[in-house]
Amino acid sequence: AAGVIQSPRHLIKEKRETATLKCYPIPRHDTVYWYQQGPGQDPQFLISFYEKMQSDKGSIPDRFSAQQFSDYHSELNMSSLELGDSALYFCASSSRLAEYEQYFGPGTRLTVT
Amino acid sequence: AQKVTQAQTEISVVEKEDVTLDCVYETRDTTYYLFWYKQPPSGELVFLIRRNSFDEQNEISGRYSWNFQKSTSSFNFTITASQVVDSAVYFCALSEAAATDKLIFGTGTRLQVFP
């Protein structure tokens, strides 16, 4: 069965650079969530989209933005990167048919140097 | 406010021992979902179980079992006859029943199973 795809899997950036993370949900899933997991921490909710509209927002820095496109894939854009942005970024997708159970992608490991 | 507490930061056991991971939650909602995820050293989040607030039946899946008690707001996870491959960080999580609600995770319990 198709799973959530995230790209890239690993990313190394320098401080003040920009990064774009991509998430391709399971086919026919209409909801996407982004989570950030710092080293040794639990995943923290950043933002979610339902049918291409932002549905909820968590502790996402103003330097970050995200959107969901017409094909339901989502991108998380991160600017002016800081050392503290180094983390594992998870995307999850869900749908009404899946009873909104969240299926997680493998994550993108971002390292800011 | 919603909150999930996993008081056990780290647990070490020897193979074949049984181990229980505790999870206590707080929510004002009458309808909610509880989850357990496993995060092995490779980093991915592996879904283990989802339970809704109206289903207090205990569940068993192989060596895994879950005890949900609304009276104590707990959703504990037991691994029977632990194996080295069970070594991972285990997260308990909570979400409201709203269709697109986020997951609130506990801080996780690191389980180390020694041969």
Strand locations in A19-105 (E): 19-24, 31-37, 44-50, 53-57, 64-68, 74-78, 87-94, 103-104
Q: Tell me the pLDDT band of A95, cut-offs 50, 70 and 90.
A: confident
Helix (H, G, I), strand (E, B) or coil at B82: coil
Question: What region, left, alpha or beta, does residue A96 occupy, with left being phi > 0 and alpha being psi -120 to 50 degrees?
Answer: alpha
Instruction: Say whether A42 and B100 touch across the interface (CB within 8 A).
Output: no
Q: Is A44 on the interface with B (CB under 8 A)?
A: yes
Assess A106–B contact: CB distance below 8 Å, yes or no: yes
Asked whether B46 and B37 are in contact (CB, 8 A), the reply is yes
Structure tokens at A1: 């069965």
Q: Which of A26, A42, A72 to mutate to test the interface with B (most CBs of B within 10 A)?
A: A42
- The fraction of chain B above a pLDDT of 70, given in percent, is 97
3-state secondary structure of B107: coil
H helix intervals, A1-113: none
Q: What is the pLDDT of residues B80-95, one digit of tens each?
A: 999 999 999 999 999 9
Residue A63, pLDDT above cutoff 80 = yes
**Segment B48-65 mean pLDDT:** 90
Cα gap A108→B2, rounded to integer Å: 27
Q: Which of B91, B100, B101, B104 has the most A C-beta neighbours within 10 Å, making it the best mutation to test the interface with A?
A: B100
pLDDT reading at B99 higher than 60: no
Q: How far is B36 from chain A (nearest CA, A)?
A: 12
- Mean pLDDT lowest for which of A9-23, A29-43, B57-71, B92-106? B92-106
Q: What are residue B37's phi and psi, to 5 degrees?
A: -125, 150
B98 has a pLDDT exceeding 90:
no
Other Cβ atoms less than 10 A from the Cβ of B17: the count is 14
Min Cα–Cα distance to chain B from A14, Å = 23
Interface contacts (A, B; CB < 8 Å): 50
Q: How far is B115 from chain A (nearest CA, A)?
A: 24
Contact B15, B115 (CB under 8 A): yes
Average pLDDT of chain B is 93
> Rounded to the nearest 5°, which phi and psi values hold at A18?
-115, 145
**DSSP state, residue B105:** E
- Encoding tokens for residue B109? 């319990």
